[in-house]
Each structure stands twice: as C-alpha cells, then as structure tokens.
C-alpha cells in the first residue's frame, strides 16, 4: 500500500494552518493582532503573516494561541500592461534555526523578463533558509509554461480565496496537473491571500504534524498535508491497484491523473470512493466537493 503522507498514522492531530494573508503591515485592512484573532476564532493552529516584501516572525496576539510561522510575500513584475507577475510566499524557521531574514526586514521589488530571471530570487530565498510557494498563477496571468522551469518551490497555490471569491479565478489546480504531468514533485496548498477581513479563513491546509514550528515546516516540505475550503479528508491510499479516498459527506469525488477525463463519483452524502488505477499513471490525486460547493484536495501519490 502507498498511503499519501498526510494520512500516515503518526498519532498527530491534523493541524489547521493559514499560509498567506495580509495585514496593515502592507496593504491589508486588518491590524495583525485582529487578523490573528480572527484565525484563532476559526480554529486555526498556525498562521503566516505574509505581507508584501516585509518579513515577520512576531506574534502580535500571543493570547490567541495561534503559532506564527515566519514569512512574507516576495514578487517581481513581468514586462507589459496590466497584472503579469511572479508572487512567492516564503515561510521559514526561527532566526536561530537558520532563517536569514530579520524581523521587519524590507525588500525591494523589481522587474524580470521571465522565469529564468526570477529563479535567482528563489535561489536567494532558499539560501536564506525559507521554503517557497508559487502564488495564484491565474491572477498573475502566468500559464504553467511561464513558471514550469522554476526550481525549488515545495508547493503552489491551487486555491486562493481572494482570487476565487473576488475575481472568479479558481482554476489554479489545472496548472498544478500540468507540472505534475511533467514529473515534477510539487504539492498543492489552499490559501486565503486575504486583504479585506472578510477574505480571511476560507482556504487552509491540514497538516499531519506536532504543534511545533519545526515539525509543521517538515510536514509541509514532505507533503504530509491536504488542502481544503471545507470538506475533511480522512485517508487516501493506493492498494492493489485501487486508489481509495475517505472523506466527510461529499456530493462529488474526483480522481485526477493529469489528463481528461477525470474519474467522477456523484452522490448525496458520499463518504469515499475507489478507482482502479491504470498502470501507466505516474501519479494520482483526489478532490472532494461538498453540498455547499466547498472543495478539498489531497496531495498526489507518486506512482513512478
């Protein structure tokens, strides 16, 4: 049996985490302490305050009990009119554990011609001990071909609440399959990227980790998590040629392998689905939609 690592039994709770939000430290509406308290009220265990090019470690609301993951959002513009750019969420360890960025350190933006010119920015972030998430490809107007050569991103956004709720831009998972089809090992995260207060707390990851910063980062790096805007996923594995997913009540469950058609199960309150996996598949992943249209996505099981 190959079990997706989010569901490897380790006796951990599935911690709820927010990896991308904005506060008054950059262009968000909410003060950092109010944003943290809002996430606490929605049951989050950890949160990164990822203001634009402005690094943060600080817990502005220690009483709220949310573990703050150090981070920021970095970017470069691409030439041309309108929005066309690369945005990257950076998250990292404590300063003492090798994080090269300082509290309140600010960084310049700039322009690059293409992904090859952006790669040194990622390399510099990685050299400073941070992990990177490729953000909102649809909003950035970068189809997969414009970022598929970037190296070192442990994950990309497959759901961004701000983009989905404001702009109806929710097709980032299609870009994910294009990278996965190429054999890339990259995981999918749901984030909020909230700027207004009502944009927070709609998309999250559930991480199989103990509640320490080091454990959470290690679990994210290894793909031991799933992404959600509502449904819960309890298990996902491949055994004797069958993929099996177990989840909270769903109306649709899909299996994806990067090409059409996806395998679709429909029902009123599905608790899971199974699918015989053809031997030529290089990976398989599952997604779930509940009665309210909310989604959850497993990370892939890599088969080759």
Can residue 193 be called a binding residue for Zn ion (CB under 5 A)? Answer: yes
Of 186, 205, 215, whose CA–CA distance to 94 is shortest?
A: 215
Nearer to Zn ion, 69 or 135 (CB): 135
Nearest to 135 by CA among 159, 117, 119, 118: 159
Find the binding residues for Zn ion in span 46-75 (CB under 5 A).
73
Query: How big is the site for Zn ion, counted in residues (CB under 5 A)?
Result: 4
Least separation in angstroms between residue 28's CB and Zn ion is 9
Q: How far from chain centre, in Å, is Cα 49?
A: 14
Q: Closest CB to Zn ion among 48 and 245?
A: 48
Is 135 an interacting residue with respect to Zn ion (CB under 5 A)?
yes
190 scored as a contact of Zn ion (CB under 5 A): no
Query: Segment 81-100, which members bind Zn ion (CB under 5 A)?
Result: 87
- Given the complex with Zn ion, which of 1 and 108 has the nearer CB atom? 108
Determine if 195 is a binding residue for Zn ion (CB under 5 A).
no
As measured in angstroms, the least distance from the Cβ of 230 to Zn ion is 21
Whole-number Å distance between alpha carbons of 55 and 262: 40
Contact 229, 190 (CB under 8 A): yes
Least separation in angstroms between CB 80 and Zn ion:
17
CA-wise closest residue to 156 among 82, 101, 71, 223: 223
The least distance separating Zn ion from the CB of residue 46, rounded to whole angstroms, comes to: 17
Which residue is closest to Zn ion by CB? 87
- Tell me if 45 contacts Zn ion by CB under 5 A: no
Q: Given the complex with Zn ion, which of 135 and 250 has the nearer CB atom?
A: 135
Torsion angle in degrees (nearest 10) through CA of 49, 287, 214, 58: 10
32 versus 272: smaller Cβ distance to Zn ion? 32
Q: Strand (E) positions, 51-149? A: 67-69, 71-77, 85-91, 131-134
**Nearest distance, CB of residue 140 and Zn ion, angstroms:** 7
Rounded to the nearest whole angstrom, what is the least distance from the CB of residue 193 to Zn ion in the complex? 4
How far is Cα 48 from Cα 302, in angstroms, rounded to an integer?
28
251 DSSP assignment: E
Listed residue (237, 242, 200, 174) closest to 36, CA to CA? 200
Cβ 205 to Zn ion shortest distance, Å: 16
String of contacts with Zn ion for each residue 241-280, x by CB under 5 A:
----------------------------------------
Question: Which residues make Cβ contacts (< 8 Å) with residue 284, sequence separation at least 6?
Answer: 238, 243, 255, 256, 257, 275, 277, 300, 301, 303
Closer residue to Zn ion (CB): 122 or 247: 122
On whether the CB atoms of residues 76 and 60 are closer than 8 A, the answer is no
**Can you give the binding site for Zn ion, defined by CB under 5 A?**
73, 87, 135, 193
């Amino acid at each position: 049996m190959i079990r997706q690592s989010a569901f490897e039994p380790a006796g951990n709770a599935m911690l709820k985490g927010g990896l991308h939000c904005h506060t008054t430290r950059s262009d968000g509406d909410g003060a950092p302490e109010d944003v943290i308290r809002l996430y606490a009220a929605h049951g989050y265990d950890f949160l990164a305050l990822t203001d634009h090019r402005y690094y943060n470690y600080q817990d502005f609301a220690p009483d709220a009990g949310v573990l703050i993951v150090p981070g920021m959002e970095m970017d470069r513009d691409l030439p041309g009119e309108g929005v066309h750019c690369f945005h990257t969420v950076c998250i990292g360890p404590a300063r003492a554990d090798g994080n090269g960025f300082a509290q309140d350190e600010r960084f310049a933006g700039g322009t690059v011609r293409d992904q090859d010119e952006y790669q040194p920015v990622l390399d510099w972030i990685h050299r400073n001990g941070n992990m990177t998430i490729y953000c909102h490809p649809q909003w950035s107007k970068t189809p997969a071909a414009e970022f598929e050569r970037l190296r070192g991103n442990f994950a990309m956004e497959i759901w961004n609440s701000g983009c989905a709720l404001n702009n109806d831009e929710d097709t980032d998972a299609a870009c994910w399959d294009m990278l996965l089809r190429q054999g890339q090992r990259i995981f999918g995260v749901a984030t909020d990227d909230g700027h207004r207060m009502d944009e927070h707390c709609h998309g999250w990851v559930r991480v199989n980790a103990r509640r320490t910063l080091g454990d959470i980062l290690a679990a994210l790096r290894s793909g031991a998590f799933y992404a959600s805007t509502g449904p819960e996923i309890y298990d996902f594995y491949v055994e004797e040629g069958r993929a099996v997913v177990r989840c909270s009540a769903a109306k649709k469950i899909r299996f994806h392998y990067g090409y059409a058609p996806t395998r679709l199960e429909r029902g009123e309150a599905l608790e899971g689905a199974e699918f015989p996996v053809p031997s030529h598949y290089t990976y398989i992943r599952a997604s779930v939609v509940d009665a309210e249209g909310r989604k959850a996505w497993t990370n892939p099981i890599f088969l080759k």
